[in-house]
Amino acid sequence: PSPGWWPCEDYPAYIDCIKRVIRRVKPDAEIIFSTYNWGYSPLEQRRRFLEALPKDVTLQVTYEIFREKRIGKLSCPTMDYTISDVEPGYYFSSEAAAAHELGIRLSATTNTAGATWDFGTVPYVPVPHRWIKRLNVLEKARQDWGLERLYETHHFGWWPSVIIDLRKASFWQPRAENLEALLPELARRDYGTEAAADIIKVWQRWSDAMEFYVASNEDQYGPWRVGPAYPFIFQPNITRTMGQKEIAFPSAPYAHFGGRIVKTLYQPFENANQSPGPLRYPQDLERLARMREIWEDGLRLLEATLDKIPARKRDRGNELFLLGSFIRRSIDTVINIKRWWLLNIKLQASSDAKVMLDILTQLEELAAEEIANARATIPIVEQDSRLGWEPSMEYVCDKWHLEWKIRQVESALREIASYRHMLQL
């Protein structure tokens, strides 16, 4: 293979060279190397790499990515960071065990500060029961494989939340052995005694809802990443210039990633070990409908609980309600964009003008739903400036972006009207 490409047989020597140069200046520097990019590879190849790796370099392994899952009859591996998976993937467990056997120091990418790519612009994912399960697995990894370092976030360090309190109780010594038993105390502290029991029920419902989350690349680099600000592009290409349909997602010029990390032309990003999108999407829609139903249960309970929260703590209750509401609106966007893609594909595969006209009507109705969803999100982000923002992208789902999205969908509706005319020529 070419240098620099998997199986990267030249990398251990390269890393050793970097290590020697750095330690010539700073002898106590810790060199950390992540095997993130080839975690999908067979263990035999990955183990050969680790055997050649300098033993005074720390290995960093990602917790859930590449986890193989079958949902129904389909293969739906985990493609990026998500708390929908509380158990690690085989990549993590096999690599950690091999590192321990070879005497290599072990670090893990865990996102245990509370933020993942599940919802790209929220301060944390409010599903403590799922975080507790992950924290317990990490404690076992510490005992079994000597896990001693964690990369816990790339979303701004930390944010005050119950998740931070749980990870502190788990990682500090002496460790709290029953993390779930801490939830009543934390709920009373933040929301008052009368509301505490119901708050825990809300957390449980939302934790249950995440079981039905869809963690595909097209979703986590699309509508999950920017929420209801995600554009809905009419996919037939009406053009005199033969241009492409993908559009640039607007973002601040000083943003680290900004809109460059957002894929705006929604489509399945296929993977060799993943069932194709046309098979996945009907199942995804069923699961997301279930996720929305359970999430709404928690949101309704929280709304009914707000009056039980004492005045001095009401801001915390309102913040949680806005966070839950923003996530609820994001679920709608993901459902709508999958329906949108299926209709666009059906439209372009049809040769029956009557059928195509009916599909255009369905697309217009769906566009109206999504415009209403974006409008309903504006008062949510206007009340909490942390929602709609993420440090590597800056603001991508604030009022400005939601209004931009509405204008974009209105533009798509004009394209649909043009296409309707074309069908009747």
Instruction: Please write the tens of the pLDDT for every residue from 227-276.
Output: 999 999 999 999 999 999 999 999 999 999 999 999 999 999 999 999 99
* Of 161, 179, 197, the domain-final residue: 179
Say if residue 241 is in the same domain as residue 376: yes
Q: How large is the average pLDDT for residues 143-169?
A: 90
57 lies in some domain: yes
* Of 179, 197, 227, the domain-final residue: 179
Instruction: Please write the tens of the pLDDT for every residue from 368-379.
Output: 999 999 999 999
Query: Contact at 8 Å (CB) between 122 and 327?
Result: yes
Give CA separation, 386 vs 17, 78, 259, 308, 321, in Å: 42, 27, 18, 25, 13
Query: For residues 396, 398, 404 and 405, what is the CA-based torsion angle, rounded to 10 degrees?
Result: 70
Q: How large is the average pLDDT for residues 388-414?
A: 98
Say if residue 154 is in the same domain as residue 245: no
Q: How large is the average pLDDT for residues 66-80?
A: 95
Q: How large is the average pLDDT for residues 132-141?
A: 98
Q: Which helix (H) or strand (E) holds 75?
A: strand 74-75
202 lies in some domain: no
Report the chain's mean pLDDT, rounded to a whole number: 96
Counted domains in the chain: 2
362 lies in some domain: yes
Q: Which helix (H) or strand (E) holds 201?
A: helix 193-209
The range of the structural domain enclosing residue 36 comes to 11-179
185 lies in some domain: no
Neighbouring-strand partners of residue 62: 109
Helix, coil or strand: residue 273: coil
What pLDDT score was predicted for residue 56? 96
Say if residue 172 is in the same domain as residue 246: no
Report residue 402 CA to chain centroid gap.
Answer: 20
What pLDDT score was predicted for residue 1? 45
Say if residue 155 is in the same domain as residue 268: no
Say if residue 168 is in the same domain as residue 227: no
44 lies in some domain: yes
Say if residue 233 is in the same domain as residue 290: yes
Q: How large is the average pLDDT for residues 338-358?
A: 99
Q: How large is the average pLDDT for residues 89-115?
A: 97
Q: Using pLDDT thresholds of 50, 70 and 90, give the confidence band for residue 3.
A: low
Task: Report the candidate in 176, 200, 223 with the shortest Cα–Cα distance to residue 329.
Answer: 223
Neighbouring-strand partners of residue 32: 58
Say if residue 175 is in the same domain as residue 233: no
Distance in angstroms between the alpha carbons of the first and the last residue of the chain: 55
Q: What is the pTM of this model?
A: 0.96
Helix, coil or strand: residue 85: coil
Say if residue 115 is in the same domain as residue 231: no
Instruction: Please write the tens of the pLDDT for every residue from 314-343.
Output: 999 999 999 999 999 999 999 999 999 999
- How many of the other CB atoms lie within 10 Å of CB of 306? 15
Say if residue 80 is in the same domain as residue 122: yes
Q: How large is the average pLDDT for residues 118-139?
A: 98
What pLDDT score was predicted for residue 190? 98
* Of 130, 160, 179, the domain-final residue: 179
Say if residue 27 is in the same domain as residue 134: yes
Say if residue 173 is in the same domain as residue 214: no
197 lies in some domain: no
Instruction: Please write the tens of the pLDDT for every residue from 19-62.
Output: 999 999 999 999 999 999 899 899 999 999 999 999 999 999 99
387 lies in some domain: yes
Say if residue 17 is in the same domain as residue 143: yes
364 lies in some domain: yes
